[in-house]
């Protein structure tokens, strides 16, 4: 990626600057101070609004505030044990795994495939690219509203497939009591695949022609080229895509609200937490779910950040 | 690239067209439903084109969400601009001004990207009330800027890291200080990065649902996606009005995407999002 | 290069100016366009019976009784989830009366629709405001446990004893109603209407296709009719149970419960004298489970909002068990091919639910709020509000001429029948139990497992502490 960056800017003229007497080195140290000071407000904001809140949430998960009356008496891990025992929580985890697997694979596989197609120097690449990324601009709520219509069992996609004579299906989509969550992952993937596709496209463009040429000289066919060279080279993009889609899965909320299916078939952690807090007034339980979501995210983010830590030295 | 010419074009175009249909399908549904009069809303005839263009659905949808549209505009535009500028500054600092622990702080910032908002609603409201910002649009703008700090810093940092340090050093030797380097070297070439960040921030903030619902203390101040969700869940609002409202809500981000799309791709290609 | 530098500066200035302008704009309050409303001509406020005057002092501003006649100014912020058709106009009728009395008050109608269940988003927002000590001046809330367990127990509401006394409401509201509104001997909100939950809406034309001329009066009769309808592929019962806690089945179940358990045992469900694994509860769940066999087949994906459209469709279900606000909805769709009766097995009973307004502590404009509450409880207010909302007045001295055919029947029933509190609509139990209750029923609708559902209800009752 860096090669591209510098190549693009290679042509820019060096900025012309006023001729000034060279300053002393101590001034540069002053500049570092300025940098830190400029960063300080953000540091404070992050410390309070993110870390402070995380700690508050963790704290509330260990107290007894489960009715409308605020009650901060400590109860240790009781809320956690209650949560792990809940049937609804088991559904949430099951749904998370199903959803994440479906969402990730759709985004990555389809995203890569479309990027591959677009990379073939076709006409109208910009046009197709625009269409595929279109859904990304739209909110979760709007996505849900449109897909709810599409997923009505008596109409929508079922009707379309029937009209086209393809197949007479009566899928329940998001109203399916067991697999409703997969239907939601389709709507989510519809929305996000374009973004992943853009990442892959950028990645593909960043692979220089020399590499492809060298592979061709070595006798590699297209399939081998992709399997042994290009896909491994795109590992960083795949990694980013996995992390982003994983994160997105944990936080899915808007779509669940609009596309909610029967019982717990589409329940997810974020929605459970919202209902626990604002519907059941079990604030400590809600905080427990929230903190659990943060822990899960940290698990996913850990490897990502460690890899970033490595590349940070560039 | 010449290698791939061996693949014939036709299946490629076919596949792309098929995908395009899939990605446009929901829009198609929204538009034709929004343009139908109430009498034509029939589950069995859902896919049919509307007979003529009926704007009642659109007009009614606008009547419902116009104030919310205004609210969203008032909040999203300043918030997106401010958080982009802030991100640019922060990204610059992280990329070009190493000080002890700066990498650690950067990583700590990134953790903020993964925060589930549901978790922190109560303390968020309490904190805002402390500063008398609860219920005010300025409070919401501030919240969006703060929650945007990690992602904007990440994007800009990735972009600026690609700028060779020699340029920066040359500027330093010529006597530029902190602000001089930013103004003369980085800012002029930041347009693609701004494209990426503005698009991302504008989209995230405009499309936000939960924070807007809770931080604004009165329904009249609700942003547009909150309004759309309410209409979609309410008793007696017809489908065509719901779809119209959804279209109205989606329009600005689509427009912004179409306008900034090229900048967006350029920014991605220039390494704004480093894996 | 210089030009580029200038452009950057211009860019930054533009950003700054844009942000500044937007922030200035943010300071200007955004007003919702008021929908066109029918205005009521202001009438003389009639005296509602003997009014002890000395109690007026307690409720008036500290300055004394003289101040009561003084002009009230300032804002009045009212939360509600009334945003559909008739609801908006009904509320506006109340506002108009208030405006006629105190023209200097600026009324801020903060209404947020739908969301998760009835008023879900509104309730979340309200909860956040209350927790933060910034209540609105008043808010719509179901009369009874929804308010009591929601905000009274948390110490956030003011008791309305003096207001009840000074306005003569203790004489004019039915004892059943005041009972529901009260906790620890004090009333906590003013009912503005009475809705009935145990109504069966049916389409005579659909029933006639199987030779049935009278709607079923018991559940056994219902299933006989349903079986006949099923043979002709007609769904017997309209159900819209979309989502994880829709509440539609919950509404039906409460009517089954009261018919199976009889009123006394039914009331026992909420104070621990009837356990939730009582055989009557099991029988009710079995009836509910059986109804699903005769419901419209797409009931798991039909939402509460959509079910009315299903009911009025040519191939729609023959019957629907839903509260009497249904009449208003059907009227707004211009539908007339229906009639009503009581829910099977609930003859002589009136399942009560009521919308009401209370007085939060530290209401920013307390005097205005009190003035509004007075309008809510007044004869004029209720007779203006209820005909539009299609509910009946909570007062026993309503002007019958203003109410339509169904409502007059309802008023008679309300006066003569035994009142029982609704579960689904916040009268009988706390909000959190209601959500668990709806979740349990959504599970029944999806998994059709009576044992499991009952287990969930028992668990929920224990958590809510209405069962040992």
| DSSP-based three-state secondary structure for C360 | strand
Classify C140 as helix, strand or coil: strand
Judged by DSSP in three states, C189 sits in: strand
Question: Does residue C40 form part of some domain?
Answer: no
One domain, residues C126 and C170? yes
Window 53-82 of B: residues touching A by CB (8 A cutoff) are none
Chain A residues whose beta carbon lies within 8 Å of the beta carbon of residue C123: 278-279
Q: Tell me, yes or no, if the pTM score tops 0.95.
A: no
> C464 Cβ partners below 8 Å, 6+ apart?
C429, C430, C432, C433, C436
Q: Give the length of chain C.
A: 468
Torsion angle of the four alpha carbons B252, B256, B261, B264, in this order, in degrees rounded to the nearest 10 = -120
The verdict on residue C325 lying in a domain is yes
Do A265 and C245 lie within an 8 Å CB cutoff?
Answer: no
Which chain A positions have a beta carbon within 8 Å of B26's beta carbon?
135, 143, 146-147, 150, 190
Residues of chain C in contact with residue B233, where contact means CB-CB under 8 angstroms, are: 113-116, 120, 303, 305
Q: Residue A272's pLDDT is what?
A: 92
Contacts of C403 (CB under 8 A, 6+ apart): C386, C387, C392, C393, C411
The answer to whether the Cα torsion of C394, C397, C401, C405 is positive or negative is: positive
Say if C229 falls within a structural domain. Answer: yes
> pLDDT-derived band of residue C114, with 50, 70 and 90 as boundaries?
low
Is C245 in Cβ contact with A275 (below 8 Å)?
yes
- DSSP structural state of residue A170: -
**Å between B181 CA and nearest CA of chain A:** 10
Asked whether residue C302 falls in the same domain as residue C440, the answer is yes
Whether C82 and C112 share a structural domain:
yes
Higher pLDDT, C129 or A292: A292
- 8 A C-beta contact, residue C376 and residue C147: no
Is the Cα dihedral B70, B73, B78, B83 positive or negative? positive
CA distance B271 to B161: 9
**C121 contacts B229? CB cut-off 8 A:** yes
- Supply the pLDDT for residue A30: 78
* CA dihedral sign of residues B206, A40, B179, A7: negative
Q: Is residue C2 part of a domain?
A: no
Cβ B149–A152 below 8 Å, yes or no?
no
Inter-chain touch C116–A275, beta carbons under 8 Å: yes
How much is the mean pLDDT over chain A? 83
Q: Domain tally for chain A? A: 1
Is A257 in Cβ contact with B119 (below 8 Å)? no
CB B30 within 8 A of CB B247: yes
Residues in chain B: 275
Neighbours of chain C (3+ CB pairs under 8 A): A, B
The answer on C245 and C179 residing in a single domain is no
Verify that C299 and C335 share a domain, yes or no.
Answer: yes
Same domain, C210 and C335: yes
Query: Confidence class of residue C33 from pLDDT cuts 50, 70 and 90?
Result: very low
Q: How far apart are CA A147 and CA B22, in angstroms?
A: 12
Query: Could you write out the three-class secondary structure of C376-401?
Result: HHCHHHHHHHHHHHCCECCECCCCHH
Residue B201 lies in a domain: yes
Cα(B223)–Cα(B226) distance, rounded to whole angstroms?
6
pLDDT digits (tens, 9 = 90+) for A282-310: 889 999 999 999 888 888 877 776 766 66
What's the per-residue H, E or C state across chain B?
CHHHHHCCHHHHHHHHHHHHHHHHHHHHHHHHHHCCCHHHCCHHHCCCCCCCCCCHHHHHHHHHHHHHHHHHHHHHHHHHHHHHHHHHHHHHHHHHCCCCCHHHHHHHHHHHHHCCHHHHHHHHHHHHHHCCCCCCHHHHHHHHHHHHHHHHHHHHHHHHHCCCHHHHHHHHHCCCCHHHHHHHHHHHHCHHHHHHHHHHHHHHHHCCCHHHHHHCCCHHHCCHHHHHHHHHHCCCCCHHHHHHHHHHHHHHHHHHHHHHHHHHHHHHHCCCCCC
Pair (C188, C222) in one structural domain: no
- Residue B22 · residue A147 · CB < 8 Å: no
| B257: containing domain | 58-269
Sign of the alpha-carbon torsion through C299, C301, C304, C309: negative
- Does residue A53 lie in a domain region? no
How many C-beta atoms lie closer than 10 Å to residue A21's C-beta?
A: 5
Nearest residue of chain B to residue C9 (CA atoms):
B183
Q: Is the domain of C216 the same as that of C259? A: yes
What is the band of C2 on the pLDDT scale with cuts at 50, 70, 90?
A: very low
- Residues 229-258 of chain B whose Cβ lies under 8 A from any Cβ of chain A: 229, 232-233, 239, 242-243, 246, 249-250, 253-254, 256-258
- Contact (Cβ atoms closer than 8 angstroms) between residue C143 and residue C427: yes
- What total of structural domains would you count in chain C? 2
Alpha-carbon distance values, B19 to A159, A241, B8, B32, B109 (Å):
20, 20, 18, 20, 37
- Other CB atoms within a 10 A radius of the CB of residue A74 amount to 9
**Residues in chain A within 8 Å Cβ distance of C435:** 275, 279-280
Which residues 6+ apart lie within 8 Å of C207 measured at CB? C213, C215, C225, C229, C318
- Per residue, the 3-state secondary structure of B165-226, as one string, reads HHHHHHHHHCCCCHHHHHHHHHHHHCHHHHHHHHHHHHHHHHCCCHHHHHHCCCHHHCCHHH
The residue-averaged pLDDT of A64-80 equals 87
pLDDT number for residue A160: 80
Closest CA to C325 of C37, C82, C146, C124: C82
User: Which two tokens mark A264?
Assistant: 């717990």
Same domain for C149 and C223? Answer: no
Cβ contacts of C292 within 8 Å, gap of 6 or more: C239, C299, C445, C448
Phi and psi based region of residue A86 (left: phi greater than 0; alpha: psi -120 to 50; beta: remaining)? beta
Rounded Cα distance between C420 and C415, Å, is 13
Higher pLDDT: A169 or A207? It is A207
Q: Give per-residue pLDDT as tens, A105-147.
A: 999 999 999 999 998 888 888 899 999 988 988 999 899 888 9
Question: Does the residue C49 lie in any domain?
Answer: no
How much is the pLDDT for C65? 42
Position B252 in a domain: yes
Min mean pLDDT across B76-85, C32-41, C136-145, C223-232 is at: C32-41
Which residues constitute the domain of residue A125?
Answer: 61-311
Q: How many residues does chain A have?
A: 314
Element (H, E) at C343: none
Q: Do C306 and C233 belong together in one domain?
A: yes
CB neighbourhood size of A310 (10 A): 9
Domain enclosing residue C309, as ranges: 199-345+430-463
Do C241 and A278 make contact, defined as CB atoms within 8 angstroms? Answer: no
pLDDT of residue C97: 94
In a domain, B13, yes or no: no
C86: in domain = yes
Nearest 5°: CA angle at B81, between B78 and B83? 100
Number of domains in chain B: 1
The CATH number covering residue B72 comes to 1.10.3720.10
Q: Is A172 helix (H, G, I), strand (E, B) or coil?
A: coil
What does R_g of chain C's alpha carbons equal in angstroms?
Answer: 25
The CATH number of the domain holding residue A274 is 1.10.3720.10
**C207 and C184 belong to one structural domain:** no
C190-240, pLDDT tens digit by residue?
999 999 999 999 999 999 999 999 999 999 999 999 999 999 999 999 999
DSSP H stretches of helix in C182-303? 204-208, 219-231, 248-268, 279-292
pLDDT above 80: residue C47: no
Does B239 sit within 8 Å of A117, measured CB to CB?
no
Could you identify the residue written with the tokens 């003369």? B184
Let me know if residue C1 belongs to a domain: no
Cα separation, A268 vs A253, in Å, equals 8
C445 and C322 within one domain: yes
**Is beta strand C182-183 parallel, antiparallel or unpaired with respect to C138-142?**
unpaired
Q: In the predicted model, what is the mean pLDDT of chain C?
A: 82
Give the pLDDT of residue B270: 61
Token duo for residue A223: 């399939």
Map tokens 């979740």 to a residue.
Answer: C439
The stretch A232-242 carries a mean pLDDT of 86
Tell me which residue in C298, C431, C446 faces A265 most closely, judged by beta carbons: C446
Closest CA to A198 of C14, B2, B270: B270
* Those residues with Cβ within 8 angstroms of residue B62's Cβ, 6 or more apart along the chain or in another chain: B244, B248
Specify the pLDDT at position C200.
95
Which among A122, A152, A198 is the nearest to B12, CB-wise? A122
- Tell me the CATH number at C210: 3.40.190.10
Measure in Å the smallest separation between the Cα of C26 and chain B Cα atoms.
6
Place of tokens 């989209």: B203
CB contact at 8 A, B271 and B159: yes
Q: What is the mean pLDDT of each run of 10 residues along chain B (275 residues)?
A: 60 91 90 78 71 79 88 94 95 86 85 75 83 86 93 87 86 85 87 86 90 78 84 68 88 88 72 50
pLDDT score at B237: 65
* Residues C406 and C195 sit within 8 Å (Cβ to Cβ): no
Write the DSSP symbol of residue C232.
T
Does C363 have pLDDT greater than 90? yes
Class of residue A161 by CB neighbours under 10 A (exposed 0-12, middle 13-18, buried 19+): middle
Greater model confidence, C45 or A289: A289
- What's the CA gap between B264 and C270, in Å, rounded? 59
Q: Does the structure show a pLDDT above 80 at C458?
A: yes
Region A236-251: mean pLDDT is 86
Displacement of CA A6 from its chain's centroid (Å):
29
B68 in a domain, yes or no?
yes
Contacts of C1 in chain A (CB under 8 A): 13, 15-16
Question: Does B49 touch chain A if contact means CB atoms closer than 8 Å?
Answer: no
Asked if pLDDT for residue C159 goes beyond 90, the answer is yes
B20 contacts A131? CB cut-off 8 A: yes
Banded pLDDT at A188 (limits 50, 70, 90): very high
């Amino acid at each position: 990626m860096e090669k591209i960056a510098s190549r693009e800017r290679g042509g820019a003229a060096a900025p012309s600057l006023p001729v000034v007497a060279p300053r002393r080195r101590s001034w540069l140290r002053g500049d570092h101070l300025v940098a830190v000071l400029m960063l300080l407000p953000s540091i404070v904001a992050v410390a309070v609004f993110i870390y402070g809140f995380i700690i508050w949430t963790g704290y509330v998960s260990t107290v007894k505030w489960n009715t409308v009356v605020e009650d901060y008496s400590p109860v240790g891990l009781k809320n956690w044990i209650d949560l792990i025992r809940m049937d609804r929580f088991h559904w949430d985890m099951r749904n998370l795994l199903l959803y994440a697997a479906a969402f990730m694979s759709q985004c990555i596989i389809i995203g890569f495939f479309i990027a591959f197609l677009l990379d073939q120097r076709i006409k109208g690449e910009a046009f197709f690219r625009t269409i595929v990324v279109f859904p990304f601009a739209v909110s979760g709520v709007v996505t849900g509203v449109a897909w709810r219509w599409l997923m009505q069992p008596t109409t929508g996609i079922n009707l379309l497939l029937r009209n086209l004579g393809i197949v007479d299906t009566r899928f329940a989509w998001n109203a399916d009591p067991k697999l409703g969550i997969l239907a939601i992952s389709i709507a989510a993937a519809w929305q996000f695949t374009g973004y992943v596709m853009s990442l892959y496209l950028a990645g593909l463009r960043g692979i220089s022609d020399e590499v492809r040429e060298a592979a061709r000289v070595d006798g590699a066919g297209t399939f081998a080229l992709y399997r042994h060279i290009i896909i491994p080279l795109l590992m960083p993009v795949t990694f980013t895509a996995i992390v982003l889609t994983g994160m997105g899965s944990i936080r899915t909320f808007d779509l669940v609200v609009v596309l909610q299916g029967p019982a717990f078939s589409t329940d997810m952690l974020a929605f459970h937490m919202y209902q626990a807090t604002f519907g059941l007034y079990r604030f400590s339980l809600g905080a427990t779910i929230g903190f659990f979501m943060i822990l899960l995210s940290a698990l996913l983010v850990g490897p990502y950040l460690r890899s970033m830590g490595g590349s940070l030295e560039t | 690239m010449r290698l791939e010419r061996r693949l014939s074009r036709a299946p490629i175009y076919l596949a792309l067209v098929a995908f395009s249909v899939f990605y446009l399908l929901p829009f198609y549904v929204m538009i034709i439903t929004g343009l139908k009069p109430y009498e034509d809303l029939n589950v069995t005839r859902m896919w049919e084109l509307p007979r003529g263009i009926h704007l009642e659905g659109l007009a009614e949808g606008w009547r419902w969400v116009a104030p919310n549209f205004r609210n969203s505009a008032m909040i999203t535009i300043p918030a997106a601009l401010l958080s982009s500028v802030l991100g640019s500054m922060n990204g610059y600092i992280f990329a070009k001004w190493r000080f002890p622990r700066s990498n650690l702080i950067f990583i700590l910032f990134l953790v903020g990207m993964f925060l589930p908002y549901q978790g922190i609603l109560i303390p968020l409201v309490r904190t805002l009330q402390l500063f008398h910002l609860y219920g005010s649009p300025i409070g919401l703008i501030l919240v969006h800027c703060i929650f945007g700090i990690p992602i904007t810093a990440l994007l800009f940092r990735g972009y600026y890291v690609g700028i060779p340090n020699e340029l920066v050093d040359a500027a330093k030797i010529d006597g530029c200080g902190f602000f001089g380097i930013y103004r003369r070297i980085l800012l002029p070439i930041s347009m693609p990065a701004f494209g990426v960040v503005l698009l991302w921030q504008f989209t995230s903030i405009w499309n936000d649902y939960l924070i807007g619902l809770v931080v604004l203390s009165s329904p009249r101040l609700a942003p547009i996606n909150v309004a759309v969700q309410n209409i979609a869940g309410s008793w007696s609002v017809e489908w065509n009005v719901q779809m119209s409202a959804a279209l109205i809500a989606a329009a600005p981000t689509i427009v912004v995407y179409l306008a900034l799309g090229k900048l967006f791709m350029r920014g991605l290609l220039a390494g704004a999002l480093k894996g | 290069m210089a030009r580029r530098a200038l452009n950057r500066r211009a860019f930054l200035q533009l950003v700054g100016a844009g942000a500044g302008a937007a922030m200035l704009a943010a300071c200007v309050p955004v007003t919702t366009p008021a929908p066109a409303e029918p205005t009521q001509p202001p009438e003389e406020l009639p005296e509602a019976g003997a009014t002890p005057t000395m109690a007026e002092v307690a409720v008036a501003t500290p300055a004394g009784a003289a101040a009561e006649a003084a002009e009230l100014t300032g804002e009045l912020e009212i939360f509600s989830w009334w945003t559909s058709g008739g609801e908006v106009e009904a509320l506006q009728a109340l506002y108009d009366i208030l405006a006629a009395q105190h023209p200097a008050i600026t009324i801020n109608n903060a209404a947020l629709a739908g969301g998760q269940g009835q008023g879900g988003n509104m309730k979340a927002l309200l909860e956040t405001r209350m927790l933060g000590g910034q209540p609105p001046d008043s808010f719509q809330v179901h009369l009874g446990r929804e308010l009591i367990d929601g905000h009274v127990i948390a110490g956030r509401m003011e008791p309305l004893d003096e207001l009840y006394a000074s306005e003569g409401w203790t004489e004019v509201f039915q004892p059943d109603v005041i009972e529901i509104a009260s906790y620890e001997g004090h009333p906590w909100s003013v009912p503005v209407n009475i809705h009935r939950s145990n109504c069966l809406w049916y389409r005579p034309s659909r029933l006639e296709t199987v030779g049935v001329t009278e709607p079923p009066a018991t559940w056994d009769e219902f299933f006989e009719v349903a079986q006949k309808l099923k043979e002709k592929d007609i769904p017997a019962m309209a159900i819209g149970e979309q989502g994880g806690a829709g509440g539609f089945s919950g509404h039906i179940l409460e009517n089954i419960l009261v018919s199976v358990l009889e009123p006394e045992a039914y009331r026992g469900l909420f104070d621990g004298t009837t356990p939730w694994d009582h055989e009557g509860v099991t029988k009710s769940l079995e009836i509910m489970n059986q109804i699903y066999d005769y419901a419209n087949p797409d009931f798991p994906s039909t939402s509460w909002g959509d079910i009315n459209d299903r009911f009025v469709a040519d191939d729609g279900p023959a019957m629907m068990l839903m509260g009497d606000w249904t009449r208003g909805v059907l009227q707004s769709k211009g539908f007339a091919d229906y009639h009503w009766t009581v829910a099977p097995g609930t003859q002589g009973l009136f399942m009560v639910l009521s919308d009401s307004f209370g007085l939060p502590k530290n209401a920013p404009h307390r005097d205005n709020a009190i003035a509004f509450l007075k309008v809510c409880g007044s004869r004029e207010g209720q007779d203006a509000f209820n005909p539009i909302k299609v509910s009946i007045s909570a007062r026993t001295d309503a002007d019958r001429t203003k109410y339509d055919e169904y409502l007059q029947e309802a008023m008679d029933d309300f006066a003569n029948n035994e009142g029982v509190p609704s579960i689904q609509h916040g009268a009988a139990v706390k909000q959190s139990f209601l959500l668990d209750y709806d979740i349990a029923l959504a599970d029944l609708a999806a998994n059709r497992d009576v044992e499991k559902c009952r287990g969930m209800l028992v668990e929920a009752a224990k958590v809510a502490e209405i069962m040992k």
